[in-house]
Amino acid sequence: MPVQPGQKSFNLVNGGNPGRLLFDNGGSLIGSILTQGGTLTLNGATPVTVADKGVTANSIILLTLKAVGGTVSPNLPNVLTITPGTGFTVGGTALDTSVYNWVRLG
């Protein structure tokens, strides 16, 4: 991808280092983000707790639908709480028992 003068183009690579998303500008390593991921199954409107010792107050948690179960809401489930060093809770909607992928950045 072409870049303008003064801009840098970054590629996100794993670099053989699981659990860490590396930033590489084609030269030396300049940074990384700790990562973790998995799946969770919603239980309708009852919050689901996900254990993750690496989560911090500044973590970003992303969710995507993996397998439909029950009645899927047109909105993604959302992270209700984050407890640093312990995990987080995810809330869904009534009748949604779908499986979701999750990934934590940071």
Task: Tell me the domain boundaries of the chain.
Answer: 36-105
With beta carbons less than 8 A apart as the criterion, state whether 55 and 86 touch.
yes
Separation CA 70–CA 88 (nearest Å): 23
Per-residue pLDDT of 59-70, as tens digits, reads 999 999 999 999
Strands 20-24, 11-13: pairing kind: antiparallel
Give the predicted TM-score (pTM) of the model.
0.76
Per-residue pLDDT of 23-81, as tens digits, reads 666 666 566 777 889 999 999 999 999 999 999 999 999 999 999 999 998 888 999 99
